[in-house]
Amino acid sequence: NAGVTQTPKFQVLKTGQSMTLQCAQDMNHEYMSWYRQDPGMGLRLIHYSVGAGITDQGEVPNGYNVSRSTTEDFPLRLLSAAPSQTSVYFCASTPFPYNEQFFGPGTRLTVL
């Protein structure tokens, strides 16, 4: 099993550009989430999904969109990148709530 995979590993964008961060898991987990990690701060939840077709906002959703058309995939879209979105992004999945989460390797995004 590959676990949770994320692409790309690194990305540089210009302000105003859009892009999609990809996340996939092969463990048949219902629950998936996107976090961002900024220096000196804990991971913060952007969006999450409790199953295919169901998504909801987390703590810092502004500027991001998600969709969940399949159990495996949970892409995160940046609509119009801003320097404040420079961060490391982690995707995670878990089979149940309040359970161990499995994290992807992260995407380091820089917005100039």
Q: Where do contacts with another protein occur on this chain (CB under 8 A)?
A: 31, 35, 40-45, 48, 50, 56, 88, 90, 92, 97-103, 105-106, 108
In the bound state with another protein, the residue whose beta carbon lies nearer, of 14 and 100, is: 100
- How many whole angstroms separate alpha carbon 76 and alpha carbon 79? 10
In the bound state with another protein, the residue whose beta carbon lies nearer, of 45 and 82, is: 45
In the bound state with another protein, the residue whose beta carbon lies nearer, of 28 and 38, is: 38
Closest CA to 45 of 80, 56, 73, 54: 56
Closest CA to 34 of 14, 10, 52, 61: 61
Minimum distance, C-beta of residue 88 to another protein, in the bound complex (Å): 7
Minimum distance, C-beta of residue 96 to another protein, in the bound complex (Å): 11
